[in-house]
């Protein structure tokens, strides 16, 4: 912990107005009560108590009574100076240090200096409900300071913020929110222009808001766990797990499956009656993993077998067989994508959309799910299907062996014709680790014909050593094709799966510790509270609960269910 005060110079003020002048303080049974004023406009009372277990925090409850004789428009801001050198931001689900390299992408980036990039700035403010756990933190290698607030207060939705140029830093809270220098709401009516909110008070009306502040030498992990545990909101599933599985399988079959050729469309139009324009209906594309393909086809086959739905099982198997039979590129790896227009083709190569490349995570994940299917010993693993799938798996894993760098890296983008590694930067190659290890274990347990089984294990361990530092440093990026240079929840998933597979294979405590790091990183993208929805919205009427859902990334701020891939 820092020897000198870290959070200093607290300022509570009306936005663009005068700060509170504190007059009197008295000890209370639970903490401290203080009173203050803003001229003859506001009377302020505040109670300060201690909250938290793993990360003790000063909890402020502020009540401001309006003394004016006429209705007035107002908003409130809270600022703390942060006495930390070389402080970088951490905001769950939104900011992870720099957030993205300069010039890569158009979503918010932290930079200690002003740059020409309009989405890059040393100061950021945003709505609290954009965060997965509602706190903003500044940290260096030794100490961290954070402020937090509920997503709503007496008169609307709250906001958080930070600023750091490497020397002078602050944390802020806003009631209501403000978003600047640009808004992440790129699809809003005002585009990405900065936005803010205010509200109107009547004579004698009281405004109430609360916030917390803490300093810790444990980084963000203890605070994240504390706040998740402290949130009283419960889950309220609409249906059972069995019903959800039945609906998911039926949805895949009715909306996404195409028999000719066997395909799982990754996007289906659900409002066909109201949108007769063909371009707004189905997108007849299929990635072989990630957002479609092998993981979903195998799930459909397994569910159909388990429930006696042969139509579902055969649909999933037809997709898997077609990918294994037709979808091998000249260089030996899977083609990452099939489209009705182009057939087997390249993936979504951000910045190089037409380049003949495959992305490591997509093809490694597909390979892994074929091995899972082979290992299942399901009745539909006929000798012919076993041989077909084994040939596809071996082709991909032998390709991975061939391109692995001496330091263990598998790279990120591969040329479909030559097999050259076109991009080494990123951690998409983590997904080769479970595929290689599962192939090694399946060879050992089930006698599958993988002659390079021992080399697969050796390559996986070497890759684990290479990617370990990125996990420790929280510098993972590159998992999904559409966010190649930014942090995402999927990087945490891949790291957790890879490190746990290494631990199960070797029993080395280092892999277990790295698994914990990866799990914490993953959980920073998981919502720790339920977003309040207006009763006038569809989600409000359904009492939709968000706690436990994952945000995709700071670039794509939507909830997704891909975290289920981490289940054993």
The domain spans of the chain are: 7-230, 328-566
Which pLDDT tens digit goes with each residue over 18-73?
A: 999 999 999 988 899 999 999 999 999 999 999 999 999 999 999 999 999 999 99
CB count within 10 Å of CB 182 equals 20
CB count within 10 Å of CB 179 equals 24
What pLDDT does 272 receive? 60
* Cβ(181)–Cβ(174) below 8 Å: no
* Cβ(262)–Cβ(292) below 8 Å: no
The architecture in CATH of the region 7-230 reads Distorted Sandwich (2.70)
Q: Tell the burial category of 470 from Cβ atoms under 10 Å away from its Cβ (0-12, 13-18, 19+).
A: middle
Which pTM does this prediction carry? 0.93
Percent of the chain scored above 90 by pLDDT? 77
- Of 66-70, 237-241, 275-279, 418-422, least confident by mean pLDDT is 275-279
Structure tokens that stand for 75 in this block: 């908003």
Structure tokens that stand for 78 in this block: 């809270």
Mean pLDDT to the nearest integer, 199-219:
96
Instruction: Give yes or no for residue 242 having a pLDDT over 70.
Output: yes
Query: Residue 255 carries which DSSP code?
Result: I
Classify 328-566 by CATH class. Answer: mainly alpha
Structure tokens that stand for 483 in this block: 């966010």
What pLDDT does 114 receive? 77
Structure tokens that stand for 268 in this block: 């289906």
Which pLDDT tens digit goes with each residue over 437-477?
A: 999 999 887 788 899 999 999 999 999 999 999 999 999 99
Residues 6+ apart with CB under 8 A from 28: 47
What pLDDT does 11 receive? 96
What pLDDT does 277 receive? 60
Of the candidates 482, 400, 50, the one whose C-alpha atom is nearest the C-alpha of residue 226 is 50
Give the alpha-carbon dihedral of 474, 480, 482, 483, to 10 degrees.
Answer: 0
What pLDDT does 126 receive? 94
Mean pLDDT to the nearest integer, 513-542:
94
What pLDDT does 100 receive? 82
Q: Is residue 555 very low, low, confident or very high in pLDDT (cuts 50, 70, 90)?
A: confident
CB count within 10 Å of CB 499 equals 27
Instruction: Give yes or no for residue 188 having a pLDDT over 70.
Output: no
Q: What is the phi/psi pair of residue 61, to 5°?
A: -115, 115
In 342-382, which residue ranges form alpha helices assigned H by DSSP?
Answer: 360-375
CA 347 to mean position of chain CA atoms: 21
Q: CA separation (Å) from 486 to 139, 255, 474, 531?
A: 20, 32, 12, 25
Q: Which residues pair with 88 in a beta bridge?
A: 139
Mean pLDDT to the nearest integer, 250-272:
89
* Cβ(481)–Cβ(551) below 8 Å: no
Percent of the chain scored above 70 by pLDDT? 95
Q: Is residue 191 very low, low, confident or very high in pLDDT (cuts 50, 70, 90)?
A: low
Residues 6+ apart with CB under 8 A from 345: 335, 336, 337, 338, 339
């Amino acid at each position: 912990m820092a020897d000198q005060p870290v959070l200093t110079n607290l300022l509570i003020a009306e936005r663009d107005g005068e700060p509170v002048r504190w007059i009197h303080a008295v000890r209370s049974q639970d903490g401290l009560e203080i009173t203050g004023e803003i001229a003859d406009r506001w009377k302020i009372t505040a109670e300060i108590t201690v909250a938290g277990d793993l990360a003790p925090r000063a909890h402020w409850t502020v009540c401001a009574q309006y003394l004016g004789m006429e209705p007035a428009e107002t908003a409130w801001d809270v600022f703390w100076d942060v006495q930390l050198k070389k402080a970088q931001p951490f905001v769950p689900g939104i900011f992870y240090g720099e957030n993205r390299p300069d010039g890569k992408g158009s979503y918010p980036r932290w930079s200690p200096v002003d740059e020409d990039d309009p989405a890059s700035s040393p100061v950021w403010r945003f709505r609290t409900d954009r965060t997965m756990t509602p706190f903003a933190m500044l940290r260096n290698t030794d100490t961290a300071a954070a402020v937090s607030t509920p997503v709503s207060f007496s008169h609307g939705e709250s906001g958080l913020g930070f600023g750091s140029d490497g020397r002078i830093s602050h944390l802020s809270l806003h009631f209501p929110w403000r978003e600047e220098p640009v808004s992440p709401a790129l699809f809003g009516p005002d585009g990405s222009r900065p936005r803010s909110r205010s509200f109107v008070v009547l004579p004698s009306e009281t405004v109430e808001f609360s916030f917390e502040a803490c300093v810790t030498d444990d980084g963000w992990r203890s605070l994240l766990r504390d706040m998740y545990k402290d949130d009283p909101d419960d889950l309220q599933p609409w249906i059972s797990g069995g019903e959800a599985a039945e609906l998911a399988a039926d949805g895949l079959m009715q909306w996404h499956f195409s028999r000719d050729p066997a395909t799982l469309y990754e996007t289906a139009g659900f409002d066909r009656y109201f949108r007769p324009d063909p371009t707004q209906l189905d997108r007849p594309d299929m990635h072989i993993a990630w957002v479609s393909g092998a993981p979903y086809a195998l799930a459909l086959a397994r569910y159909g077998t388990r429930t006696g739905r042969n139509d579902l099982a055969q649909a999933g198997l037809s997709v898997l067989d077609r990918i294994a039979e037709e979808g091998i590129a000249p260089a030996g790896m899977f083609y990452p994508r099939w489209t009705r227009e182009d057939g087997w083709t390249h993936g979504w190569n951000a910045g190089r959309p037409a380049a003949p490349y495959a992305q490591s995570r997509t093809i490694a994940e597909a390979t892994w799910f074929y091995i899972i299917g082979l290992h299942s010993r399901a009745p539909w693993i006929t000798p012919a299907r076993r041989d077909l799938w084994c040939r596809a798996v071996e082709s991909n894993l032998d390709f991975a062996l061939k391109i692995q760098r001496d330091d263990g890296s598998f790279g990120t983008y591969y040329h479909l014709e030559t097999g050259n590694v076109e991009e080494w930067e990123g951690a998409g190659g983590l997904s080769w680790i479970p595929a290689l290890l599962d192939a090694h274990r399946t060879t050992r347990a089930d006698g599958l014909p993988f002659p390079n089984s021992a080399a697969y294990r050796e390559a996986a361990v070497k890759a684990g050593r290479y990617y370990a530092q990125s996990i420790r440093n929280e510098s993972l990026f590159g998992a999904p094709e559409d966010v190649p240079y930014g942090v995402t929840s999927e990087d945490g998933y891949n790291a957790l799966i890879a490190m746990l597979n290494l631990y199960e294979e070797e029993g080395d405590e280092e892999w277990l510790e790295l698994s914990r790091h990866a799990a914490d990183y993953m959980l920073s993208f998981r919502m720790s509270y339920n977003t309040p929805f207006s009763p006038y919205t569809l989600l409000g009427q359904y009492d939709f609960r968000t706690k436990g859902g994952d945000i995709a990334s700071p670039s794509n701020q939507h909830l997704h269910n891909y975290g289920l891939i981490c289940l054993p």
